[in-house]
Chains A and B, each alone.
Chain A
C-alpha cells in the first residue's frame, strides 16, 4: 500500500489509486470538470493540476497514479495560478447566461468561480465564440453548445455506459462543439443522466427546464418505484410538489445512473392523485371523511366473513407497497380476517420492457418483498381472479391503482362481481374508477418504509413531506383498520413495523433500519 502526503497530510491508499481519489480520502477536494468517478479518465479539462515533488511540470491529479513516498501539494501559488488560469480559459467563451440557465446554483463553473475568486474579465466580450443554443438533441435533453466546456463526460457516458455513442465532438480548437450527428438524435433510455453529469448548463433536462430555481428545492433520499431495480434517487421538492428525481450513487444497484422512465416516475406523486376518501353510491361519488369511511370498510369486511365465511372476503396486495405495509396487509388478511384469499401480482399493463442494464421487466419496486413476506403471487392471483369472477367474493380490500395487467374494461367487469370493493391507492386509475370505497394513501414521497429489489436488497425510502390533501400514511390507516377488526396493534410509524417484521420474518431476521442504512442490505433467501 503506497503511502504519500498531500498538503502535508499522510495517507495510505491501495496500489493504482490516483491522486484525486487519495486526496478525497483525507477530505481534500481537488477541483475537476472532466473527472467523473463512474467514467474513464480523460484528463482534458486540466483543472486538477497539482504539484508533485520531483516533477518539473504540474500533474493532473485525476490521471496520475500515486507512488510510495509521493509528495503532493494542491495549495501552492503555482497550483492556484494554474487552476485560476484554466478557469479563466473556460470562462472566456462562456456566455453570460446564469440568470436564464437551469444549472445556475448547481453549476461547477459558478462554484469554482466563487472558490477561486476570479478577477475582472480580461477577455473582450465581443470576441466570444458563438455557438448554437437551445438544440433539442432528443431524449430528455436540450443542448446549449455555447455553455459546453468540452469536458467529454457526456461523450464518455454514451460510449461507456449506454454504448450508443450519439454525442461527439465536431470541429476543432475554440470552435470545438459537442453535438449529435445529423438526423441521429439521442436514442437510448438513459439520456436524463446526461444532464446530471454535465458539470455546466450545456445539457439540461427538457422536463425540468425553467420549472424552478434549484436553490428553492429541498431534497430527500428515496427509491425509484418504476421497476424492480429500485434505483436509488434523490427526490427534489418544493412545498408538496416533487420537481425531479436524480440518481443517488449506489454501486450495488444503479451506480450513478437511472433510466428515463424512472426519472419521470416522480410525476405520479404530483398528478392525478387520489386526495379525498370517497364512496361510490349508485354510480355517484360521495366524499367522505376517514373517520366516516374506515369503520364502513371494517364493517363490510367483517360482515362478509361473518355471513359467508372467511373466504367471502379477499385482499389483493400490491407490489407497490412497502415491506412494512405488506407485512401488515398479510396479517390483516390471514390473522384478522382469516381468509385464504390473499394474493398479489407483478403484472402491469404494458410490455414489461427490460434491457439487461438497469431496467427490469417487473415494473414494481417490491415484488421480491411480497414474495419474501409470503404473500401468494403468480397462480394464486389468477385463482383469486377466477373466484372473484365467479361471484364468490363479497368484500374486497385492494391495494394499488391497477389490477394486474387487466384493462380498464376488464377491471370494471371483474370488480362489478364484488358488492364491496375498497381500494387503498395513490392515483386515479382503472380501480378508482369503479371501486365502492376509495382510501387515498400517501405517495412514495409522503411516506417511509423499505422495498426489496429484484436482487433481494432491502432499501429505505423516506417521507419528504406530509401527505397531500386527505391522503393518509398507509401504516396509520392499516393500524386503525386492524384495530377495528380487533387487533389491538400499537404500531407507530414504519420503524416500529419493521422491528416487528424483522423479529418474525426469516428473510429479514437481524435487520434494522440502522443496518440497512442509506444504501440497503441484502435479505436472506
Chain B
C-alpha cells in the first residue's frame, strides 16, 4: 500500500532535516511556491482531505472561509494538543517526522498568504516540543522558514507554543484563547476563527496530521491522494490501535479501511486468547460499537451511518471480561475533570454523570438511574458552547444503549458482576 506519512518513520534520523531532505523533503514547498496560490488550495480541495482533528471538516473548504479582503494579517494555528483518550497519532508524527508538519504548514501558509503560524502543542508533550523546536530551527537555518523563503519573497514566522495540559485546549477556539494567554475557554461561535481567530485576526486551525498530508498532496497531486481513500475521504489515516491486541500501535491505512481488518489483521487480533467485546472506534468521545458491529469501513459517512464517528481514528479495543460500567465511569471521570466549567449543561452535566455512573459501579445505583443518565445526556447534547458536552454524552448514551443489561445488573445486584471492587 502506498503511504503518505509513515514511509520513512522507521528511520531514526528522519526527524533531522538532512535525512528528511535526502528523501526529497521540502521539494514540495519548493514546488508550491512556484505555483499560483489558488492552485495549491485547489489541489488540497481535490485531495478530499478531511480534517484529522476529529470533526472531519474538508480542509480545502475551510481554507476558503478566510475573508477575501487582505487588509488584516492572517494566522495559522496548528492544533497539536492531542488529548483525546485513545489518540496518539499526532505525537507520532511530531516525534518521527516533524519536518512533514513544518513543510506542510509552510505550504499552507504560502497558499493562504499567512506570515505567522503557531504550533500549539500539548503541555505534556515535552519531548515532542523539543523535537519540534529543533526542527523549526533547522528549517529557519535552511531557509524554509523566516524571511524570503527560497528566494520567493515570502516570509513566514513559526512559533512553537506549549500548552499547560488541558484537554479542552484542543477545542480550536479554546486553543486560541490559551494561545493568547487567556484561560482556555472555548469561544461562543459565531464568529468563527476564519473571521475572528487568534488575536482577533482571521485564523485557520488545522490538526497536525491534516497539515502533514499537504506536502505529499503537492508532490503527487490531489487526485492521487484522493484515490488512496474513498469517495469523500481522501488519502490515508493514521489509525491508532490500543487495548489488548497483539500489535498495538499506529498504522497508516486507507481512509476507508475496514475496522475488523484493522483489529484482526493489522493489529493481529486480541492477545492471550481474549475475545472482543466492544470497540471505541475514533477516540473516547465516539459512540462505542459492540463486537458484532465492526464490519464497517472507517470513512466518515459509513461510520455515521452506524451511529458512530471516525473521530481521531483512535481505536480502543475492549475485551470480554471488561466491566462496561467501570469503563464508562473512567470516561466520565475524564470528561468531568476536563470540562472547562464555562457553560451550565456541560459543567453540571459531566459532574452529575460521573456521580451517577460512579454510584452504579459502586453498587449503589438506583432503579431510575439509567433513565436519569439518558435524560441528562439529552439535556446536555447540542446545548453547549463547544462539543465537549456531546463528547461526554455520546459514550454515556451508547454504553447504555449497547450494554444496558450490565448496568441493570449492577443496579439490581448492588455489585459488579465482574467482581470489581469500587
A58→B382 contact, CB < 8 A: yes
A45→B344 contact, CB < 8 A: yes
B347→A150 contact, CB < 8 A: yes
**Most chain B beta carbons < 10 A, residue from A45, A56, A171:** A45
Q: Which B301-358 residues have C-beta < 8 A from chain A? A: 336-345, 347-352, 355
Q: Mark B372-384, 1 if CB is under 8 A from A, else 0.
A: 1000001100111
In the complex, A82→B368 CA distance in Å? 20
User: Is residue A169 within 8 Å, beta carbon to beta carbon, of the partner chain?
Assistant: yes
Q: Which B161-201 residues have C-beta < 8 A from chain A? A: 166, 168, 183, 188
User: Is residue A85 within 8 Å, beta carbon to beta carbon, of the partner chain?
Assistant: yes
Q: Mark B278-310, 1 if CB is under 8 A from A, else 0.
A: 000000000000000000000000000000000
B355→A85 contact, CB < 8 A: no
Q: How many residues of B contact A (CB 8 A)?
A: 29
In the complex, A149→B339 CA distance in Å? 15
**Most chain B beta carbons < 10 A, residue from A41, A44, A45:** A44
A89→B336 contact, CB < 8 A: no
Hey, which chain A residues are within 8 Å of B338, CB to CB? Answer: 172-173
Which residue of chain B has its CB nearest to the CB of A62? B188
Hey, which chain B residues are within 8 Å of A60, CB to CB? Answer: 188
Q: How many residues of A contact B (CB 8 A)?
A: 38
Which residue of chain B has its CB nearest to the CB of A171? B341
Task: Name the one of A63, A81, A176 contacting B188, with C-beta atoms under 8 angstroms.
Answer: A63
Which residue of chain A has its CB nearest to the CB of B342? A44
A43→B385 contact, CB < 8 A: yes
**Most chain B beta carbons < 10 A, residue from A43, A56, A58, A89:** A89
Task: Name the one of B349, B368, B382, B385 contacting A89, with C-beta atoms under 8 angstroms.
Answer: B349
Hey, which chain A residues are within 8 Å of B183, CB to CB? Answer: 168-169
User: Is residue A219 within 8 Å, beta carbon to beta carbon, of the partner chain?
Assistant: no
In the complex, A82→B389 CA distance in Å? 14
Give the distance to chain A from B180, nearest Cβ to Cβ, in Å.
Answer: 14
In the complex, A127→B345 CA distance in Å? 17
A41→B339 contact, CB < 8 A: no
Which residue of chain B has its CB nearest to the CB of A88? B379
CB within 8 Å for A49 and B379 given contacts A172-B339, A174-B350 = no
Give the distance to chain B from A470, nearest Cβ to Cβ, in Å.
Answer: 55
Give the distance to chain B from A356, nearest Cβ to Cβ, in Å.
Answer: 26
A122→B372 contact, CB < 8 A: yes
In the complex, A172→B337 CA distance in Å? 7
B385→A44 contact, CB < 8 A: yes
Q: Which A37-57 residues have C-beta < 8 A from chain B? A: 41-47, 49, 56-57
Task: Name the one of A89, A168, A169 contacting B352, with C-beta atoms under 8 angstroms.
Answer: A89
In the complex, A43→B342 CA distance in Å? 9
B355→A93 contact, CB < 8 A: no
Q: Which B191-238 residues have C-beta < 8 A from chain A? A: none
In the complex, A88→B348 CA distance in Å? 9
Task: Name the one of B166, B168, B345, B385 contacting A85, with C-beta atoms under 8 angstroms.
Answer: B345
Give the distance to chain B from A378, nearest Cβ to Cβ, in Å.
Answer: 49
A176→B341 contact, CB < 8 A: yes
Which residue of chain B has its CB nearest to the CB of A172? B341
Hey, which chain A residues are within 8 Å of B350, CB to CB? Answer: 173-174
Hey, which chain A residues are within 8 Å of B348, CB to CB? Answer: 89-90, 92-93, 174
CB within 8 Å for A173 and B343 given contacts A86-B383, A127-B355 = no
Which residue of chain B has its CB nearest to the CB of A41? B188
**Most chain A beta carbons < 10 A, residue from B166, B188, B341:** B341
Hey, which chain B residues are within 8 Å of A127, CB to CB? Answer: 355
Hey, which chain A residues are within 8 Å of B372, CB to CB? Answer: 122
Which residue of chain B has its CB nearest to the CB of A49? B383
Hey, which chain A residues are within 8 Å of B385, CB to CB? Answer: 43-44
Hey, which chain A residues are within 8 Å of B343, CB to CB? Answer: 43-46
User: Is residue A129 within 8 Å, beta carbon to beta carbon, of the partner chain?
Assistant: yes
User: Is residue A261 within 8 Å, beta carbon to beta carbon, of the partner chain?
Assistant: no
Query: What would 8 more interface pairs be, CB under 8 Å, given A93-B351, A122-B368, A174-B336?
Result: A41-B188, A81-B379, A149-B344, A172-B337, A172-B338, A172-B339, A172-B341, A176-B347
Jot down 28 A-B pairs with beta carbons below 8 A, ordered by A.
A41-B188, A42-B188, A44-B188, A44-B342, A45-B343, A46-B384, A57-B383, A58-B383, A63-B188, A85-B379, A86-B379, A89-B349, A93-B351, A122-B368, A127-B355, A149-B344, A150-B344, A168-B183, A171-B341, A172-B337, A173-B339, A173-B347, A174-B336, A174-B339, A174-B348, A174-B350, A174-B351, A176-B342
